Structures are given as C-alpha cells and as structure tokens.
Amino acid sequence: MTTDPPPSPASPPEELWTVSVVAAYLGFTGDSATASARKQLSRWGIAAHSREPGRRGQSLYLAAQVRAAHEARPGRGRHGATRTEGGRFTTSTDN
C-alpha cells in the first residue's frame, strides 16, 4: 500500500504595491509623489511586476523588492562617524 505525500503548502501570495503605496512608503508627498516614486524605482532598477486590470490600472511592484532597496539606501551625513559633545565629527584616531 502506497500513500501519496502530503500536499505542499502553497506559497503565500506575493505582496504587490501600486506606485501610490510605494510613494507613501518612501515618504513622498504632494502632487508629484507618484512621479518621484517612479523615478526612484527606475534608479534602483525595479521594474513593474504586473499591472492592475482596467484602462486606468496602475503598475504593481513587488513589496519585498521595494523594502530591500529602501533599506539598502545610504543614510544621511557621514556614515558611521561619531560626534563629540560639541557636535564635531571625530576621526578614527580621535578616541
């Protein structure tokens, strides 16, 4: 008597974001928020995964790709530099 292996659990559906959601996630506001988000996605090399149905459907982007690219962005200021009490940056030899 043979038994079939249990069915493998279906992988969860991929989370897809519209460009409006991407703009909000990246912190863009105002009239040009979606255009700014599209430009940033283009700089990162993230292409649309699919498109919403209908004539006015927006492009859909993989949320995981957007999150990963956003988390890999460089921060502001001098990276890894510490400040003294007076607010000046210290060098690696100043400790």
Which residues on adjacent β-strands are paired with residue 83? 89
- Is 81 part of a structural domain of the chain? no
| Tens digits of pLDDT across the chain (95 residues) | 566 666 656 656 789 999 999 999 999 999 999 999 999 999 999 999 998 898 888 899 999 999 999 988 876 656 566 667 666 666 656 45
- Is 92 part of a structural domain of the chain? no
pTM above 0.75, yes or no: no
**Strand 59-62 versus strand 16-18 pairing type:** antiparallel
- Is 84 part of a structural domain of the chain? no
Number of domains the chain is built from: 1
Residue 52 domain boundaries = 16-71
